Structure 1
Amino acid sequence: MLGRNACWFIRIFVAVVICSGYSHPVSVTESLTVGLVQEAEEATAVDLGALLDAGDDAVVTLLAARSPVFADMFRSVTLEASSSQLVLSDTEGPVLRQVLAYLYTLQVPELPSMAPKLLVAADVYGLSVLKAHCEQQVVAQLSVETAAAAGVIAIRHSANRLKQAAVAFIKAHLLHVMATQGWAEAVVNDPQTVVELVRLIAETPTDTSTPSAGESRTGPSSQPHSGHSDDGRRPPTAVPPTTPQPDDVVISLLWNLSGKEKGKMLVAAAEEGSVSKVRTLLAAGADVEAMDENHQNALHWAAGLGHVEVVRLLLEEGADVNARDRWRNTPLHQAAWNDDATVVRLLAASFADCNARDDTGNTPLHDAARRGQADAATALLEAGADREVRNYDGDTPLDLAERNNHEWLIDILGSS
């Protein structure tokens, strides 16, 4: 978050004038190397890095002059005049700090571990030179663990140099890359981009040797066939191959993962509440009863967090409605604890045990009473929960409601 006050727009205007006096436009094309870009920019840069820590006013002094995206943001805030603050919620603090440092000094940070995120930020804020440098850093550290994520970033942010390098690397180490956690996460978190990545890998020629002197990559020998034979006659029309649907491609990729890995990802997808991810993982053979280290399965997580549609899908796929975690809690305990009456009713309709006891003897109704969850308690009573059952300390749900001064629940539980 960058502070604003009444004079910030004056500073921006002055900064634009100052920068215009010290620099001239530099044409940057794909044919220029990163080194040439750096050399050109350093020759025209005004290093005002000392201003970076000088206070909120100084932080914005050069942003509009050096980033067209920031310029548009400031212009919008000026026109609306509805806030004295500009919120940048799409970039992590440490990454934004490096972006600001670059804008003030035009010195590219050498932070390999941050390079992928910094590349994304550079693209978001229209910093083409910083983006090119980050591409170089990410390419330099490609490995079987990082290649999938690098390929996804390259496609999503039009980083062509990185895209070519990542595709070539993955193709050369395909089985090793596909066995990594990075590949699995990419497939689940961004399946459409992975489908595009797979297409690029399939289309990349296996023979990637550099052409000899005098040859050109744009010459006839490397171009796709024009559709005409040498004598000018059109060859017979070929039948296009059947292209698998994206979901089919993603599912086939997920089949290569271990059962443990798919189960772990299924639990994470349920926790996230992503119906599409859960459905894809189940189609790829993930065990619907896979558990985390606390023996909580996907249904536990979805029920506890109120992801109704994920709960519905898991139940349709045969999830055990009365599964127990390490504390003997069922998914119904989780839903009652968090006062999700919709999930309570859905679980109860699937024959969840409304009087199941955890390792302290508490039923879901005990949990609702203790937490003051009136909606969940009402839904449990409607489903046939026993209000007279006692836990291992001898307390009924009404006792817990009274002890915690939940007046509304006392009325509900006390009525016959």
Structure 2
Amino acid sequence: MAESLPVGSRGSLSGDLGALLESREAADVTLEVSGSRMSAHKAILAARSPVLRAELRDVTTDSGSLTIRISDMKEEVLRQVLCFMYTDQAPRLRTYVVHLLVAADRYNIPLLKELCEDTLAKIITTANASTIAVIAVKRSCAKLKEVIINFMRAHNEVLATSGWEDAIVRHPRAVAEICRLLVAKPSKKGTEQSPPPDVEQRRGCLEEDLLALLESGEAADVMLRVGRRGGRLAVHRALLVARCPALAAVARVKGVRPAVFAEVMRFVYTGKAALEPDSAGEVLAAAERFSLPELADRCEQLLMEGLSIETAAATAVVAVANSRPALTSAAVELISRHAPQVMGTDGWRAALRDHTEVAVRICSLVSAAAAAPAPAAVSPDISTKPAEDLNWRLLQAAKDGAVEELRVLLAVGADVETRDEYRKTALHWAAERGYGKAVDCLLSNGAEVNTRDRWQLTPLHRAAERGHQDVVTVLLEAGADKSAMDNRGRTPLYIAKVINRWQVMDILR
């Protein structure tokens, strides 16, 4: 399947599933088409196509064989359909768009059908309008039908083409419906072709389908026992092999709360996790244990952002126990500055009681940090301080929204593009925390509006995620790219939609 290889990096959902399709590892279904045989995975087929899900049920119970014969599709079209099922991408969509639309309609793959409709809507001409109109009517393509009818109303010459004559002869019923639509009251939307909707607004995407598969347990072939009481969770070996091989050969998961493990599995199936500060530490530990580095990084980021006197001890325990140097450094630095307050918290008492050896290590690190020279506060002789100190304080001032301090630091040589261990700049932090005046200050001092952090997130992504309308507006006026994608292909609009930041969505559209 060399020409059908999906685009996506390993570690992403589409990249991992594309690699699974290519390798055929754990394949448990054979598709026969035009004399060829293709290997696939029952879980993916069942998740993406209700029609194939029903066929798999029948073929399994009736004959015990997991072979499906595809007689209504060409081999290359099936390759593209399979690639889409695994990755949400069809590399040769434009080449096979009509065949793929028919296949998507036949096997009820709504997102692929929408993509095909959008593609056809972009290539309408007088010569092909009749053919596209017939397809739209016969395949019940609501959006494409509206676009093509509006086009034909505006271009009467379509009725004089050989394509229209051919349609009358070969598809009389479809032509009758087209004529009825042509004489019906025109749509108020006008005759121009509508742009395709954003990918985030489409239904039936890979993440949604796999989450539904996980929740339903349909086609599950692995039963994991989780926690002390051995609660059962039905999962799919193909997803484990593709996304988390460390779990593929495990029958029982010990030392992880069921609720935490459920969040891990949600990430395995969707590439997303609804992380909460209270459970982020447990999820991070599980992510490290099961070799899910991207999930561990997200947990670390959330813990870093929530670091405070109350959370410092628990965060330090998680960081040290799971060998997260950046998080360890941040937690230890905070504890060393506020040792009496931290050691009076419930988190510190829990650390001493439940994680004695780790607590001893933390004390040693805190002692070493306390012995190091502390950074001086901003003062008139600030220009004599090392550049690293100025840059560190610039990031801290951005986190606090301290505009006057930002101005002083920038005036004496702090680097406006300095980055922390997550490659976040001062502009990232100010945008994320909603400090509009700080954002203005940084931009006026030359901050790059489309700078990227470790996850390829821009300041606009960060502001959209937190729902900071004013900051989003300021960034857009400064030239922020609202179509920029992070390392998982998400735009700021997508992120705003996922977490229901409706007012920000209106600004970004």
State the TM-score, normalized to the length of structure 1: 0.37
Larger Rg belongs to: 1
State the TM-score, normalized to the length of structure 2: 0.31
